[in-house]
Amino acid sequence: MSTIGKALALLDTLSRLDKEAGLTDIARQCALDKATARRFLVELEKHGFVEQDPDTRRYRIGSAPVRLARIREARFPFLRVAIPFIEALAESSTETVHLSEFAGGQLSTIHVEDPPRAHRIIIDVGSLLPFHATASGLAFLAFCPRAEIDAALKKPLEKFTDYTVTDPRLLLTMLDETAARGFSIIDQGLEAGVISTAAPVRSPSGRPIGCVAIAAPLSRTNTAAIHEFGTQAAAAANAISEKYYGSERPTGTIAKLRRTD
Amino acid sequence: MSTIGKALALLDTLSRLDKEAGLTDIARQCALDKATARRFLVELEKHGFVEQDPDTRRYRIGSAPVRLARIREARFPFLRVAIPFIEALAESSTETVHLSEFAGGQLSTIHVEDPPRAHRIIIDVGSLLPFHATASGLAFLAFCPRAEIDAALKKPLEKFTDYTVTDPRLLLTMLDETAARGFSIIDQGLEAGVISTAAPVRSPSGRPIGCVAIAAPLSRTNTAAIHEFGTQAAAAANAISEKYYGSERPTGTIAKLRRTD
DNA sequence: AAACTATGGTTCAAATATTGAACCTTAAGC
DNA sequence: GCTTAAGGTTCAATATTTGAACCATAGTTT
């Protein structure tokens, strides 16, 4: 792996820790030599990507990403555009609605709207969504080129619950259904007792950039309700896509996209 | 320079461009070989720090910084804490108030509040503040250890206007005045017709982490008004510091800090 | 208080990744 | 259909990265 990759992986690891971490800790978590980790941290600090607390000597994410994020959001205001739709969907569905974005080969949760209910699904911003075990992952993959689907299904597929589907053939069938329907459904794939449905937000070229998903307790849903949620998620995803990219629409139909890619 | 440093410098350059840029452009702007720039971009893209538009093949800042920024702000909510004070100051002073943060060896503007007046100073979020030519830069340096002051004044000091002070000896005197007074004043150092005053937000250890600054048209200010603004900026900076770090106060007096560092 | 341990931080020869001139490919312009 | 320019790739030469061993400091145990 390149040096840059290792340094960025360190940054990612640091960001996923619950709190500030010391040098030895960081080196261990990243499987790097202490000297290497230190040089990376010093270099990242020079550019403001990490900060070292002068008292505790522990490291934390710096402020450079905040500046970059502002620029990114100013030019490419995905959150700003999407959040109103997510809020509306949370209100109408009275279930947890979350938005994910594809970046760095992973699908990450970037926003969550909780419904005002005592019993609801809790999802954290920043959490990663496995492609094979979440509605978002499936919805994302279903509209990707075949090569990327195969690549994703070739990796080891972790079994999170008794219901997690890990058979690539079966997953392919589910992807076909998702593509045909326009939204995915995953029954307890990541967490027991939770059923989810999701639809992709796509760029004008048809490529998915993220997903809108609704997660509900299995105990208070039925097939009809889930299909209704899926339809609503797909509508929200399309609305976000349209607002985000202007009135350009994804080229071609879903079926055509899957064939030509 | 390390590979990581070069890659992060590329990211910084990309963020400062007005719009998305092509490979050749980026390579030229960063003084890198095309092959090198490409490898960096590919590596940065893998981790979500840049994105390549699939149609135009141009590159832009990716979404990874947005995720990192969320984490940073959740753990270290500088903007969230500071903005109310900046807003209040803009309202009471009826001039442009801006907040800067030190990161990666530079002082960058991270927030600006414009007053509701037709004639006002315009400052962009993201703009860099030279240490010797801005009130923020001076206020920051004045509370830094002597070694850092010397390092900053040793660099070539650009003359932005006829009024920019570039004599290190004179600047040192101004820094002493700033430290004694608690806020800096710069008369047309960066832009003709603009006078500014600033005070540092400091961590409990006394180290500046950023500045609160007020910028006003020279034509409608006088010495008394500027001193009043300076006092207000210092009060806001201290209030931010206190709220941000809890009730811990910067250790020692200003004079002591300057001597012992 | 001496010995121990854990952490942050540093060094330098050996190992490895990076570099860039030259090359290929594609697409637009004429 | 030729020319130009941009994106992208290759591989030997080269500069950077690596990590075992080291030092320094602070807290803890005996």
Per-residue pLDDT at B73 = 86
Measure the CA angle with vertex A8, ends A7 and A12; round to 5°.
120
Same domain, A83 and A190: yes
Range scoring the smallest mean pLDDT among A26-35, A174-183, B83-92, B247-256: B247-256
Which residues from A are below 8 Å from B45, CB to CB? 104
For residue A184, give the H/E element and its range.
Answer: strand A184-187
Residue of B nearest to A70 (CA): B66
Q: Is the CB of A34 under 7 A from strand C?
A: yes
Last residue of a domain, one of B39, B66, B93: B66
For chain D, which bases have at least one atom within 7 A of a protein Cβ? 5-11, 16-21
Positions of E strands within B32-165? 50-52, 59-61, 96-103, 106-113
Range scoring the smallest mean pLDDT among A20-24, A28-32, A244-248, B227-231: A244-248
Q: Is residue A206 part of a domain?
A: yes
Domain limits at B217? 76-260
Last residue of a domain, one of B26, B44, B66: B66
Average pLDDT over residues B97-106: 90
Same domain, B177 and B256: yes
Question: Under DSSP, is residue B202 helix (H, G, I), strand (E, B) or coil?
Answer: strand
Average pLDDT over residues A60-82: 89
Residue A101 pairs with which residues in a beta bridge?
A: A108, A210
Per-residue pLDDT at A249 = 38
CATH number of the domain where residue B61 is located: 1.10.10.10
Rg (alpha carbons) of chain B, rounded to whole number: 20
Contact present, A96 and A120 (Cβ < 8 Å): yes
pLDDT exceeds cutoff 50 at B97: yes
Average pLDDT over residues A20-35: 90
Residue B257 pairs with which residues in a beta bridge?
A: none
pLDDT exceeds cutoff 50 at B38: yes
Q: Is residue B215 part of a domain?
A: yes
Same domain, A237 and A117: yes
pLDDT digits (tens, 9 = 90+) for A178-188: 999 999 999 99
Q: Is residue B232 part of a domain?
A: yes
Contact present, B66 and A110 (Cβ < 8 Å): yes
pLDDT exceeds cutoff 80 at A54: no
Q: Could you give phi then psi for residue B253, rounded to 5 degrees? A: -85, 170
Q: Which has more confidence, A151 or A139?
A: A139
Residue with tokens 């934390």: A60
3-state SS track over B213-254: EEEEEHHHCCHHHHHHHHHHHHHHHHHHHHHHCCCCCCCCCH
Average pLDDT over residues B234-238: 96
Same domain, B163 and B43: no
In 3D space, the residue among A173, A169, A177, A170 whose CA is nearest the CA of residue A197 turns out to be A177
Same domain, A62 and A110: no
Same domain, A124 and A248: yes
Per-residue pLDDT at A17 = 86
Contact present, A216 and A121 (Cβ < 8 Å): yes
Q: Is residue A61 part of a domain?
A: yes
Same domain, A145 and A251: yes
pLDDT digits (tens, 9 = 90+) for B183-208: 999 999 999 999 999 999 998 778 89
Residue of A nearest to B8 (CA): A47
Last residue of a domain, one of A48, A66, A84: A66
What is the C-alpha to C-alpha distance for residues A250 and A240, in angstroms, rounded to an integer? 12
Q: Is residue A71 part of a domain?
A: no
Distance of residue B11 Cα from the nearest chain A Cα, in angstroms: 9
Q: Could you give phi then psi for residue B104, rounded to 5 degrees? A: 60, 35
pLDDT exceeds cutoff 80 at B117: yes
Tokens standing for residue A175: 């992807």
Same domain, A20 and A86: no
| Confidence label for B136 from pLDDT (cuts 50, 70 and 90) | very high
Q: Is residue B97 part of a domain?
A: yes
CB contact under 8 A, B48 and A104: yes
| Confidence label for B116 from pLDDT (cuts 50, 70 and 90) | confident
CATH number of the domain where residue B94 is located: 3.30.450.40
Average pLDDT over residues A62-80: 88
Q: How far is the CA of B61 from the C1' of D11 (A)?
A: 31
Q: How far is the CA of A185 from the C1' of C11 (A)?
A: 57
Contact present, A199 and A212 (Cβ < 8 Å): yes
Per-residue pLDDT at B256 = 32
Residue of B nearest to A69 (CA): B66
Q: Is residue B71 part of a domain?
A: no
Distance of residue A51 Cα from the nearest chain B Cα, in angstroms: 9
Per-residue pLDDT at A86 = 95
pLDDT exceeds cutoff 60 at A110: yes
pLDDT exceeds cutoff 90 at B261: no
Give the CA distances from residue A134 to residues B30, B47, B69, in Å, rounded to whole numbers and listed in that order: 40, 21, 25
Same domain, A195 and A251: yes
Question: Under DSSP, is residue B162 helix (H, G, I), strand (E, B) or coil?
Answer: coil
Tokens standing for residue B256: 């002591």
Which residues from B are below 8 Å from A2, CB to CB? 3, 39, 43
| Confidence label for B228 from pLDDT (cuts 50, 70 and 90) | very high
Contact present, B244 and B82 (Cβ < 8 Å): yes
Q: Is the CB of A44 under 7 A from strand D?
A: no
Q: Is the CB of A3 under 7 A from strand D?
A: yes
Same domain, A84 and A182: yes
Same domain, A85 and A59: no
3-state SS track over chain A: CCHHHHHHHHHHHHHHCCCCECHHHHHHHCCCCHHHHHHHHHHHHHCCCEEECCCCCCEEECCHHHHHHHHHHHHCCHHHHHHHHHHHHHHHHCCEEEEEEEECCEEEEEEEECCCCCCCCCCCCCCECCCCCCHHHHHHHHCCCHHHHHHHHHCCCCCCCCCCCCCHHHHHHHHHHHHHHCCEEEECCCCCCEEEEEEEEECCCCCEEEEEEEEEEHHHCCHHHHHHHHHHHHHHHHHHHHHHCCCCCCCCCHHHHHHHC
Interface test mutation site (partner A, options B57, B70, B144, B244, max chain A beta carbons within 10 A): B70
Same domain, B82 and B196: yes
Number of compact structural domains in chain B: 2
- Kindly give the interhelix angle for A168-181 and A146-154, rounded to the nearest 10 degrees: 140
Q: Is residue A237 part of a domain?
A: yes
